Structure 1
Amino acid sequence: MRLVSDLFDPEPARWGLRGDPWVWRAMNEYVAGLALPPSVGEVERLLKATFDRVVGIDLATESAPWVYREEFAHGGLSSGSVHLETWRSELLPTLIDRARSQLSG
């Protein structure tokens, strides 16, 4: 059985801000044990909803380029900062592309 959490391995080499890897890991934990939905559209909806739940904002409507979340602060200058633009343009698309590969293969 393919799991949604399989999409999170490996972690990206680049992040937007220091909170991003912690969000990645929290999302991975949130979907642990969930079967990969049968369509890319369903995976995309699930991942966006998971991000919204983990970070506490609606990525589709939030206009700020980044948000601060105390739970993702683990040291460093931008610690706890989540770069929403990187999630929109790189990180979520990476997960969706991985799902597309899993579902077509």
Structure 2
Amino acid sequence: MRLVSDLFDPEPVRWGLRGDPWVWRAMSEYVNGLVLPPSVGEVERLLKATFDRVVAVDLATETAPWVYREEFAHGSGMSSGNVHLETWRAELLPTLVDRARSQLSG
């Protein structure tokens, strides 16, 4: 049985801002135990909804390039707690969708 949380392993080597890895892990925990939906479109909708729920931001409508979230501020550094929405739109969510596509076609 394929699980949505399997898509999150391994973690990317590059992030946009310091809050991004914490969002990645929070999303993985949020979908833990969910069976991978049968279509790529359904997976993509689920991942976007999960991001919206975890970060409290709608990627489709938010125009800011990044947002600050206290719950993702771990450690020091200028970007601690900042989530780079552009990276999530352009790289991180597409990576997860690509992984789902591979799982569903293989």
CA distance in 1, matches of 2:6, 2:32: 9
Q: How does 1:94-105 map to 2 (within 5 A)?
A: 94-105=95-106
Identical columns (%)? 90
CA distance in 2, matches of 1:11, 1:28: 10
**Aligned residues between the structures:** 105
CA distance in 2, matches of 1:50, 1:32: 11
| TM, length-normalised to structure 2 | 0.98
- Counterpart of 1:78? 79
| TM, length-normalised to structure 1 | 0.99
Q: CA RMSD in A?
A: 0.4
- Counterpart of 2:92? 91
- Counterpart of 2:8? 8
Q: How big is each residue's C-alpha offset from its partner over 1:51-94, in whole Å with a ceiling of 9 and x where there is no partner?
A: 00000010100000000000000022200000000000000000
Structure 1 residue ranges without an equivalent (≥5): none
Displaced runs of 4 or more, over 6 A: none
CA distance in 1, matches of 2:16, 2:60: 18
CA distance in 1, matches of 2:29, 2:84: 20
- Counterpart of 1:27? 27
Equivalent residue letter for 1:93:
P
